[in-house]
Structure 1
Amino acid sequence: MPLHKIIHINETTTAYFWHITEDVTSLFRAVSLKDTSLFRLEGMKSEEHQKGFLAVRMLLQHLGYTDYDLTYDEAGKPHLEVKVQNAKVNSTSNTQHISISHSHEFSCICISDELMGIDLEILKEKTLKIAPRFMDVRHLQTLSKEEQLQKATVVWGVKESIFKIKNEKGISFPKHIYENDFNLNERECSAELRFNNLIEKFKIKFYNVEDYIFVCAIPN
């Protein structure tokens, strides 16, 4: 399956989605992997994780990058090495930030001139059941069951996205990341990370992609 969807979050931040309909063998044959990536792939026991990993590389290739341009630091945070200006990516900078997420049948990457983090989550009842563990459930009052599920999934995505940006040990979703209440129709909100005696603010945008919620967090 080719590129499924593109979302332009702002002038220099774009998300790309791959709908995974291929099997592992087809994806593997379509990409070129460096040795460290082959080692990571071989260590994945789940076929779903293997396909998500390979679909990310398909997205990179679609945009003119390769697996060799993608590196990870010691904390596991991805970095994109830009050697030349890439005409397929709307950018005004030679420094590019990348964030990655995959869930079930979709993989997503977001590329930006700004620091940002993303999360892609399928809508599932379990998220609503565990909502009291990670969010202020008062924000779900007066909503229909469907709206509650969507909002809880957005909030989970907000916290995942911010965590990906900071990537620091000790950050707790319920204790340190706070979402301001929002209306689902507005498709944006704000959040704060209160950690290590600092308060950091984030702009949030969220979107429906098929039966999934996609969230992007950008530091204010």
Structure 2
Amino acid sequence: MPLLKIIALNDFTKVFVWKITETFEELFHSVPLNEVSIARLNTMKSEAHQKGFLSVRRLLMEAGYTDFDLYYDEFGKPHLKDGKHISISHSHDFSAITISDVIIGIDLEIRKEKTLKIAPRFMEISHLENLSHDEQIQKATVVWGIKEAVFKIKNEKGISFPDHIFEHDFSLTDKNCTAELRFNKTVEYFDILFDFIEEYVFVCAFNSVSLEK
């Protein structure tokens, strides 16, 4: 079944994950699309991108919404018309959305060697010490996801992954950690939850005060 799982992260946040096995035609005919989405879909040159876009609309339906309930602001950030908060991610054969009562950011990444190779460019490399090669790939991917998820919450021009977003060290078995954004002479703190789905890493970020809701 393409709807792989629904995960309740807490009392006010749910994750919906879709494994894309359908053809473009199957997905296209299974979802209602507004005119803006149809126009956007027609500009996509990659079928994989198109299928990711459509599978997100299927996830909306699983969550009780449709494409007509979703809109994007001037910065490209998605919103739901009922005031709930949504974050969206797509990677290769998987899509995910998270719906919450609080502001959230999510990221879905496939584990790959390249992420480890560029790790010194975006993370504290000492956080990879005393790990096996596979664990290093896994942890580097989690850290990249942390930075993507935090950026989706803030979405401000000028934020740099290595210069402004910092993960606190963590164990892969904990599936949670914290992070900081130091930007524009202020420091913000984030609670991070992460999990592993087949060859993918899923990361969700909340402002620290949000989890006290």
TM-score over 0.5 for the pair:
yes
For the pair 1:13 / 2:16, whether they are aligned, the reply is no
Aligned AA for 2:20?
A: I
Provide the secondary structure at the position in 2 that maps to 1:6: strand
Give structure 1 stretches of 5+ with no counterpart.
83-94
**How many Å separate the matches in 1 of 2:47 and 2:117?**
27
**How many Å separate the matches in 1 of 2:63 and 2:141?**
29
**How many Å separate the matches in 2 of 1:34 and 1:70?**
10
Determine which of 97, 100, 116 is the counterpart of 1:128.
Answer: 116
Deviation, structure 1 residue 63: 2.0
**How many Å separate the matches in 2 of 1:118 and 1:4?**
17
Deviation, structure 1 residue 2: 3.4
**How many Å separate the matches in 1 of 2:63 and 2:205?**
22
**How many Å separate the matches in 1 of 2:168 and 2:118?**
19
Provide the secondary structure at the position in 2 that maps to 1:191: strand
**How many Å separate the matches in 1 of 2:2 and 2:90?**
16
Determine which of 153, 178, 194 is the counterpart of 2:182.
Answer: 194
Aligned AA for 2:46?
A: S
1:64-75 alignment, distance < 5 Å? 64-75=64-75
**How many Å separate the matches in 1 of 2:29 and 2:95?**
18
For residues 81-102 of structure 1, the C-alpha deviation after alignment (integer angstroms, 9 at most, x for no partner) is: 12xxxxxxxxxxxx31000001
1:108-123 alignment, distance < 5 Å? 108-123=96-111
Determine which of 194, 201, 204 is the counterpart of 1:206.
Answer: 194
Percent of aligned pairs sharing the same letter: 62
Give the aligned partner of residue 80 of structure 1. 80
Provide the secondary structure at the position in 1 that maps to 2:29: helix
Instruction: Give the ranges of 4+ consecutive aligned residues of structure 1 lying more than 6 Å apart after TM superposition.
Output: none
For the pair 1:58 / 2:46, whether they are aligned, the reply is no
Give structure 2 stretches of 5+ with no counterpart.
209-213
Deviation, structure 1 residue 60: 0.7
**How many Å separate the matches in 2 of 1:66 and 1:17?**
16
* Contact 2:2–2:21, Cα closer than 8 Å, also in 1: no
Kindly tell me the number of residue pairs found equivalent between the two proteins.
208
**How many Å separate the matches in 1 of 2:5 and 2:205?**
19
For residues 191-214 of structure 1, the C-alpha deviation after alignment (integer angstroms, 9 at most, x for no partner) is: 000000010000000000111000
For the pair 1:104 / 2:92, whether they are aligned, the reply is yes
Provide the secondary structure at the position in 2 that maps to 1:30: coil
CA RMSD of aligned residues (A): 0.7
For the pair 1:144 / 2:132, whether they are aligned, the reply is yes
